[in-house]
Amino acid sequence: MWHGFFPPQVILRNKKFKKIILNPPNFNPGSWCGAGKLWIDTKNKEYWLTGRPRVSGELRGYAVEIYKSKNDEDF
């Protein structure tokens, strides 16, 4: 019998990778777009996602981008 907290590997073991939601500003090494927060609007059935793009070595956190989706996958 298990005692204590369940490790993340047990909780997330059935999750499947579907796709990349936010592409980086460019495809040079070190460039990426990190997601900030996700808000779910249950009344309007919308998902709002913030993203922070970064460019390798030049710009860090130079913008905040806001995306909207109706199905939580296509922003």
Residue 71, amino acid: N
Per-residue pLDDT of 5-61, as tens digits, reads: 777 777 778 888 888 888 888 888 888 888 778 899 999 999 999 988 888 776 777
Predicted local confidence at residue 13, as pLDDT: 80
16, 34 Cβ separation under 8 angstroms: no
Q: Return d(Cα 39, Cα 58) in angstroms, integer.
A: 30
Per-residue pLDDT of 7-22, as tens digits, reads: 777 777 888 888 888 8
Q: Return d(Cα 67, Cα 51) in angstroms, integer.
A: 8
Contacts of 36 (CB under 8 A, 6+ apart): 49, 50, 51, 52, 64
